[in-house]
Amino acid sequence: MSPIQQHILELRKQLNEHNYNYYVLNRPTISDRDFDFLMKELEQLEQLYPEFDDPMSPTHRVGSDINKSFTQVEHIHPMLSLGNSYSVAEVEDFIRKAKAGLTGQTMEIVGELKFDGTSISLIYEHGRLLRAVTRGDGVRGDDVTANVKTIRSIPLQLAGSDYPDAFEIRGEVLLPWEAFNRLNEQREKDGEALFANPRNAAAGTLKLQNSAEVARRGLDAYLYHIIGDNLPSDTHWGNLQAARSWGFKISNDIRILNSIEEVDDFINYWDEQRKQLPVATDGLVFKVNNLNQQLNLGFTSKFPRWAIAFKFKAEQALTRLVSVSFQVGRTGVVTPVANLDTVPLSGTMVSRATLHNEDFVRSLDLHLGDMVYVEKGGEIIPKITGVELERRTPESVPVSFVTHCPECGAELVRDEGEAAWVCPNKSGCEPQLIGKIEHFAGRKMMNIDSIGGETAQLLFKSGLVRNIADLYSLTREQILSLDRFAERSAQRLLQGIEQSKKVPFERVVFALSIPFVGETVAKKIARAAGDIDRLMGMTIDDLTSIDDIGPRIAESVVGFFADEENRRIVERLKSAGLQMAIERKAASSEILAGKSIIISGTFDYHSRDEYKAIIEQNGGKNVSSISKNTDYVLAGHNMGPAKLEKATSLGITILSEEDFLSLIGSAPSSAGEQAEQSASAGKPEDAENPIMPDLFSMLD
Ligand code: IVH
């Protein structure tokens, strides 16, 4: 190695150490001036000797001004969220259940702060940061490596040598309060919209196109979860300590807790102390420390059973109720909404709050002009929790509920035993008609992705689509006559509509907007009926004999199909060629026997978990990394380019979703049926089989 190269490496090492001291330890050992001096020297040397440049050099943390759009990357392990708890009792219950699942073993819990930022997955190979990906939809996220490289507390090159060759580390990217306030002050001066809270600011910053601006904003990151083979310790705690020694910022506030009493103390301590922290937190996280125990506990379909989040009690704000508006939803339910004097609450500006229904308004005995307490229910939608009666003025009037629909003027009805007032004008009330079109096109329903709220409105107001059946007679010329559409977008809409004809019957039933029929109920009634004619002919007794279907849902379904207009719409959907029956085929085959199949990307007809189940049902094996032994890649949308290239270079057959379904000789709905059956065998509720097999591989 030449002396110049050696010097460059030495400078990088020093600068990395100083970065670490400054950004991770908060203990700088040199002045900023001296730091800049070293940095300049390195920059000059790298310019003079470009052959020794390295994209991981600390000089590259300043970011670039080049605009780029993000590519989507599939997560190696899905990024799950945590189950929430809101009381000490719920946390205790979680601990008791976890212990019961580990018969007789002693169990340590690690208590951590729950940082309120945006989650990130970092992939390291041979000690270098390879890729940084946002959570996205949990299966795939945005590749934000360039922006993450500007976060100085994230090491580009790890220290030490005892790290695994390849591993993933997850954590939270956040904007400390100080940087957040500075950013908002600047935005105010520049006349730009303010960020509501540090979480939004961090998430927004991470998605900026200009990484130099990202670098300026001062993001930080705490890491809290390592996944990989050959980890140095068999405990979560041990691995976090090791990660700290490799240069990651690991919170100093993590604690091993040995008893429920220690857990309670930890909660009580942080409930108060968190207000002193330099970063936003919205709760605590409790994790089973031992990785084998984590493995034994496994996952529910959504969350690990070895960890739980505890959410701090929401902060309250006091503000004035100015007026009440009434919103009409897709099923005609009228919801009262409070308009408030804008007030800051847990970092956001609140000016509206839901009032749920008439009974809620009455129970608070709300008067216009009242001073009311506002809280963030479940963090997102603010709600009113009380009235400051002493500040009520004598002339104030009680809030009264509207008697007529604010949109169409029809007289509202409220069925006995129901909390909601409903506009009965199903076929003439605009927000209901538009809402139904939007719902029908939704991702979990017919998945016509070019139709969102605005397009539904546009289609409706133009008169082209007055109900969901009209979608299937739209022509290219009609769509092109609309303002927002050009050739390509029209084509996409038509394709989306055409594709929707393959959506399984269960989802068609969900898409119909039958009151009280959500995704799960739709599946149950669709399967019990078998086809639309039988469903339409079902009586209240037939329906209530299905598991979990009570009289309220049954009446709603019968009422829906008794309506002439709904029957006409269903007939038209049938003639348009939608799937109107469950297709029951053999539940399994050996077509894929001996075949190793990789699933990559996102899909139209089934979820990834369903495809895993389908592969297994047909004798195949779902594998997670490509090798020469892989037989097929089941490629959905946005398959990662690296995977595609590797698969192509190894000569592996790439199957589209349709190719795959026809290979196994299955219409989409029959495949769904198989998937459902096998998935339910491993469902978390199933006490015999507490671990979901396909998620188990996450910990491989
Ligand atoms: S552990 C599989 N630990 O909270 C479990 N999450 O509500 C992985 N979060 O998605 C998460 N602080 O974005 C974990 N100390 C912490 C955390 C934390 C913040 C976030 C994270 C997660 C969400 C769950």
Tens of pLDDT, residue by residue over 47-64, are 888 889 888 888 877 655
Nearest to 472 by CA among 450, 494, 444: 494
User: What whole-number percentage of the chain has pLDDT above 90?
Assistant: 56
Four-residue CA torsion sign, 471, 476, 482, 483: positive
User: Which atom of ligand 1 lies at the shortest distance from residue 114's CA?
Assistant: 12
- CA 618 from centroid of its chain's CA atoms: 30
CB-based contacts of 124: which residues, under 8 Å, 6+ apart?
130, 158, 163, 166, 167, 168, 169
pLDDT confidence of residue 66:
46
If you take atom 18 of ligand 1, which residue's CA is the nearest one? 114
Q: What is the DSSP string of 179-236?
A: HHHHHHHHHHHTTPPPPSSHHHHHHHHHT-S-HHHHHHHT-EEEEEEEE-SS-S-SBH
The single residue listed with the structure tokens 């086809």 is 531
Q: What is the largest CA-CA distance in the chain?
A: 87
What is the C-alpha to C-alpha distance for residues 522 and 519, in angstroms, rounded to an integer? 5
* CATH class of this structure's domain 430-502: mainly alpha
Taking the centre of ligand 1 as the mean of its atom positions, its distance from the CA of residue 302, in whole angstroms, is: 13
Q: Which fold has domain 596-665?
A: Rossmann fold (3.40.50)
Which residue out of 77, 112, 119, 120 has the highest number of ligand 1 atoms within 8 Å of its CB and is therefore the one to mutate?
Answer: 119
User: Which atom of ligand 1 lies at the shortest distance from residue 113's CA?
Assistant: 15
If you take atom 2 of ligand 1, which residue's CA is the nearest one? 80
User: What whole-number percentage of the chain has pLDDT above 70?
Assistant: 91
Which residue did the predictor score with more confidence, 607 or 345?
345
The three-state secondary structure class of 433 is: helix
Per the CB < 8 A criterion, the answer to whether 259 and 109 are in contact is no
CB-based contacts of 512: which residues, under 8 Å, 6+ apart?
440, 468, 560, 566, 570
Ligand 1 binding pocket, CB closer than 6 Å: 80-82, 112, 114-115, 119, 172, 224-225, 285, 304, 307, 309
Q: Which span out of 333-347, 551-565, 686-700 was modeled with the highest average pLDDT? A: 551-565
Which residue out of 77, 79, 82, 116 has the highest number of ligand 1 atoms within 8 Å of its CB and is therefore the one to mutate?
Answer: 82
* CATH architecture, domain 505-576: Orthogonal Bundle (1.10)
Tens of pLDDT, residue by residue over 651-669, are 888 898 888 888 887 644 4
Nearest to 286 by CA among 272, 276, 297, 275: 297
What is the C-alpha to C-alpha distance for residues 540 and 497, in angstroms, rounded to an integer? 33
User: Which atom of ligand 1 lies at the shortest distance from residue 254's CA?
Assistant: 15
pLDDT confidence of residue 40:
86
Q: What is the CATH number that goes with domain 3-69?
A: 1.10.287.610
Same fold, 430-502 and 505-576: yes
Average of per-residue pLDDT values in the chain: 86
- State if pTM tops 0.85: no
User: Which atom of ligand 1 lies at the shortest distance from residue 282's CA?
Assistant: 19
Four-residue CA torsion sign, 576, 673, 636, 603: positive
User: Which atom of ligand 1 lies at the shortest distance from residue 303's CA?
Assistant: 2
User: Which atom of ligand 1 lies at the shortest distance from residue 80's CA?
Assistant: 2
Taking the centre of ligand 1 as the mean of its atom positions, its distance from the CA of residue 116, in whole angstroms, is: 9
Segment among 119-133, 289-303, 515-529, 671-685 with least mean pLDDT: 671-685
Q: What is the CATH number that goes with domain 74-311?
A: 3.30.470.30
Segment among 33-42, 237-246, 370-379 with least mean pLDDT: 370-379
Taking the centre of ligand 1 as the mean of its atom positions, its distance from the CA of residue 128, in whole angstroms, is: 23
The single residue listed with the structure tokens 């070895």 is 306
Q: Which fold has domain 316-425?
A: OB fold (Dihydrolipoamide Acetyltransferase, E2P) (2.40.50)
612 is catalytic: no
**For the residues 173-189, what does the mean pLDDT come to?**
88
Taking the centre of ligand 1 as the mean of its atom positions, its distance from the CA of residue 380, in whole angstroms, is: 17
pLDDT band of residue 25 (cuts 50, 70, 90) is confident
Taking the centre of ligand 1 as the mean of its atom positions, its distance from the CA of residue 211, in whole angstroms, is: 25
Tens of pLDDT, residue by residue over 571-585, are 999 999 999 998 765
Per the CB < 8 A criterion, the answer to whether 503 and 579 are in contact is yes
Pairing of β 281-288 and β 109-115: antiparallel
DSSP state for residue 414 in the 8-state scheme: -
- Whether 399 shows a pLDDT value over 50: the answer reads yes
Which residue out of 77, 81, 223, 284 has the highest number of ligand 1 atoms within 8 Å of its CB and is therefore the one to mutate?
Answer: 81
If you take atom 13 of ligand 1, which residue's CA is the nearest one? 119
**For the residues 562-591, what does the mean pLDDT come to?**
87
Structure tokens at 401: 């509920």
- Whether 537 shows a pLDDT value over 70: the answer reads yes
Q: Which entry of 97, 114, 444, 683 is annotated as an active-site residue?
A: 114
Taking the centre of ligand 1 as the mean of its atom positions, its distance from the CA of residue 84, in whole angstroms, is: 11
Taking the centre of ligand 1 as the mean of its atom positions, its distance from the CA of residue 565, in whole angstroms, is: 48
pLDDT confidence of residue 381:
64
User: CA-based angle 85:87:92, to the nearest 5?
Assistant: 85
Show me where the domains of the chain are located. Answer: 3-69, 74-311, 316-425, 430-502, 505-576, 596-665
pLDDT band of residue 602 (cuts 50, 70, 90) is confident
pLDDT confidence of residue 481:
94
Cα distance from N-terminal residue to C-terminal residue, the chain: 39
